[in-house]
């Protein structure tokens, strides 16, 4: 850990950021606060000293939740212009949820950045999470009753983060005070979000709690080390889960999953819960699994009941016969919007599937449609390859159709009358 009372010297910066030299394209997430501004400025210093010749873009997400957010985003752009770096502002539009707003904003942020990175061909996202973030996350999840998987530390390199992003966090060993001091020493002014001192927010209260804990000898570095050790244990258990997954879980190309119930019941409880959580996240495309207490209730139900069905985290869990089937819930609105598509671009549908037309007669201006199978035209031989999968599990599966003719459902249906057309639909 770098001393929080000492500014970052060039050799410190080179140690922190030197691993970025392994990548030729990077995207930096910069909000304009002290942490991300420090990342931006220190990265600029490092790339010049290291003579790094890669391509970098800077993105700022304007959630539109505060009147000053647009101006803050423009200030980041102005700083990037002075440093000679490309900058893009990504705006979260549409109606904002009234409940769980911060979680929704976080999911929207990753979703917008992931979409931007796909469009620009960028592969790696660099974020400014630091030691204080690590500790606040640990304390927050501790108050929520999280288990091992929730309490484990953030990783400095996360190849499969939210939205499938490869995320790097090179500042996890640095305290927030140190980053602020580094900016002050360089004469850089950062933007201060007033909510960072508003005790209406839980993270602010936890920050104050941390100060009290430090006075009792439980400092940030100790808590961060505990979280790091939990991460090590979590990774060992995840390897075990992946072994089970490969042997006992079937993943259908159209979305649903099937878990061998008997094999699942033989797992230790922690592994049963983790398998259910992973199945729900994969089926729905959600950024985070349901809360542990909710998972435990569903696990009890599956263990105690011979057959049943339960909805959790946007997924339907159907347990009957020898399987646990998991699929994305269609919802009261009938599923995601049906989209007109020319077939000339890669389409992200339902935030879960990438649709691509590989060849065929429809690659022109006349639109195809991509939507839920529940909204698609019917076909007489649609279910001939169903096997033991429940029909209901495909209601929110991606389908391609045109002029009343169903053309393609991945792994389930191909219309032979349109065999000159080839599509690829895969999980994003």
Shared domain for 19 and 65, answered yes or no, is yes
pLDDT at 414: 92
Helices (H), 249-382: 261-265, 269-284, 292-304
> In this structure, is residue 154 part of a structural domain?
yes
**Of 328, 352, 386, which one is at a domain's C-terminal end?**
328
What mean pLDDT value characterizes the chain? 90
DSSP state of 85: -
Shared domain for 282 and 392, answered yes or no, is no
Of 359, 358, 363, 356, nearest in space to 342 by CA:
363
Helices (H), 249-370: 261-265, 269-284, 292-304
What the block records as the tokens of 17 is: 């950021």
Shared domain for 42 and 108, answered yes or no, is yes
- Per-residue pLDDT for 218 more than 90? no
> In this structure, is residue 44 part of a structural domain?
yes
Shared domain for 92 and 166, answered yes or no, is yes
Tokens 């360089």 belong to which residue? Answer: 186
What is the span of the domain harbouring residue 349?
A: 339-427
**Of 328, 347, 372, which one is at a domain's C-terminal end?**
328
Question: Which regions of 303-411 does DSSP assign to beta strands (E)?
Answer: 308-312, 315-320, 323-328, 339-341, 347-349, 353-359, 368-372, 398-402, 405-409
Mean pLDDT for the stretch of residues 225-254: 92
- Which percentage of the chain shows pLDDT scores above 90? 59
Element spanning 234, H or E: helix 220-248
Distance, CA of 225 to CA of 151 (rounded, Å)? 12
pLDDT at 234: 87
Distance, CA of 285 to CA of 314 (rounded, Å)? 9
- Determine contact, residues 301/261, Cβ cutoff 8 Å: no
Shared domain for 153 and 50, answered yes or no, is yes
How far is residue 76 CA from its own chain's centroid? 24
Distance, CA of 21 to CA of 418 (rounded, Å)? 48
- Please, which residues have CB within 8 angstroms of residue 405's CB and are 6 or more apart in sequence? 377, 379, 415, 417, 418
Distance, CA of 147 to CA of 268 (rounded, Å)? 14
pLDDT band at 184 (very low <50, low <70, confident <90, very high): very high
The pTM is what?
0.75
CATH number, residue 14: 3.40.50.620
Each residue's pLDDT tens digit, 40-53: 999 999 999 999 99
Shared domain for 280 and 402, answered yes or no, is no
CATH number, residue 286: 3.30.465
pLDDT band at 160 (very low <50, low <70, confident <90, very high): confident
Shared domain for 316 and 382, answered yes or no, is no
- Determine contact, residues 273/302, Cβ cutoff 8 Å: no
> In this structure, is residue 234 part of a structural domain?
no
Q: What 3-state class would DSSP assign to 267? A: coil
Each residue's pLDDT tens digit, 100-143: 787 788 888 998 999 999 888 898 999 999 999 999 889 988 88
> In this structure, is residue 35 part of a structural domain?
yes
Question: Which regions of 23-63 does DSSP assign to beta strands (E)?
Answer: 25-29, 55-62
Q: What 3-state class would DSSP assign to 391? A: helix
How far is residue 134 CA from its own chain's centroid? 17
> In this structure, is residue 315 part of a structural domain?
yes
Distance, CA of 185 to CA of 38 (rounded, Å)? 11
> In this structure, is residue 2 part of a structural domain?
no
**148 or 29, which is more confident:** 29
Distance, CA of 9 to CA of 19 (rounded, Å)? 17
Give the pairing of strands 308-312 and 166-168.
Answer: unpaired
Shared domain for 307 and 181, answered yes or no, is no
- Per-residue pLDDT for 364 more than 90? no
pLDDT at 145: 84
Shared domain for 178 and 66, answered yes or no, is yes
Shared domain for 214 and 361, answered yes or no, is no
> In this structure, is residue 333 part of a structural domain?
no
- Determine contact, residues 153/234, Cβ cutoff 8 Å: no
**Of 307, 328, 349, which one is at a domain's C-terminal end?**
328
Length of the chain: 428
Shared domain for 159 and 31, answered yes or no, is yes
**64 or 245, which is more confident:** 245
Each residue's pLDDT tens digit, 164-183: 899 999 999 999 999 999 99
Distance, CA of 38 to CA of 238 (rounded, Å)? 33
pLDDT band at 185 (very low <50, low <70, confident <90, very high): very high
User: Which stretch of 233-237, 262-266, 280-284, 397-401 has the lowest confidence by average pLDDT?
Assistant: 233-237
Each residue's pLDDT tens digit, 295-337: 999 999 999 999 999 999 999 999 988 999 999 999 877 788 8
Shared domain for 39 and 167, answered yes or no, is yes
- Number of structural domains, the chain? 3
pLDDT at 6: 57
pLDDT at 141: 87
pLDDT at 362: 55
DSSP state of 43: H
- Per-residue pLDDT for 4 more than 60? no
Distance, CA of 23 to CA of 377 (rounded, Å)? 46
> In this structure, is residue 242 part of a structural domain?
no
Radius of gyration of the chain (CA): 24
């Amino acid at each position: 850990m770098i001393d929080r009372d000492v500014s970052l010297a060039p050799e410190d910066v080179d140690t922190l950021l030197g691993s970025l030299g392994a990548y030729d394209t990077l995207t930096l997430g910069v909000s304009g606060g002290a942490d991300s501004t420090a990342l931006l400025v220190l990265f600029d210093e490092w790339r010049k000293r290291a003579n790094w010749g890669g391509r970098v873009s800077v993105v700022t997400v304007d959630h539109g939740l505060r009147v000053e957010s647009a101006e803050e985003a423009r200030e980041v752009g102005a700083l990037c212009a002075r440093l000679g770096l490309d900058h893009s502002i990504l705006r979260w539009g549409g109606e904002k949820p009234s409940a769980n707003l911060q979680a929704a904003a976080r999911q929207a942020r990753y979703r917008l950045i992931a979409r931007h990175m796909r469009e620009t061909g960028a592969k790696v996202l660099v974020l400014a999470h630091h030691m204080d973030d690590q500790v606040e996350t640990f304390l927050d999840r501790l108050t929520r009753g999280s288990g091992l998987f929730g309490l484990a530390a953030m990783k400095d390199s996360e190849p499969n983060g939210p939205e499938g992003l490869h995320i790097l966090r090179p500042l996890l060993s640095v305290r927030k005070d140190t980053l602020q001091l580094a900016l002050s020493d360089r004469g850089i002014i950062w933007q201060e979000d007033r909510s960072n001192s508003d005790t209406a927010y839980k993270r602010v209260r936890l920050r104050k709690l941390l100060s009290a804990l430090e006075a009792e000898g439980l400092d940030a570095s100790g808590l961060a080390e505990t979280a790091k050790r939990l991460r090590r244990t979590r990774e060992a258990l995840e390897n075990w889960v992946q072994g089970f997954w490969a042997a006992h879980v079937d993943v259908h190309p159209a979305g649903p999953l099937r878990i061998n119930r008997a094999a699942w019941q033989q797992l230790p409880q922690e592994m049963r819960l983790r398998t259910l959580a992973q199945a729900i996240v994969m089926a729905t495309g959600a950024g985070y699994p349901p809360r542990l207490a909710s998972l435990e209730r569903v696990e009890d139900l599956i263990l105690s009941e011979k057959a049943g069905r339960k909805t959790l985290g946007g997924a339907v869990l159907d347990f009957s016969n020898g399987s646990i089937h998991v699929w994305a819930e269609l919802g009261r609105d009938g599923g995601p919007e049906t989209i007109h598509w020319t077939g000339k671009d890669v389409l992200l549908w339902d935030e879960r599937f990438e649709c691509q037309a590989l060849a065929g007669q429809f690659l022109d201006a006349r639109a195809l449609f991509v939507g839920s199978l529940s909204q698609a035209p019917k076909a007489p031989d649609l279910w001939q390859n169903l096997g033991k999968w429940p029909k209901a599990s495909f209601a929110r599966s991606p389908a391609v159709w045109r002029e009343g003719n169903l053309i393609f459902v991945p792994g389930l249906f191909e219309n032979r009358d349109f065999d000159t057309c080839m599509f690829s639909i895969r999980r994003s």
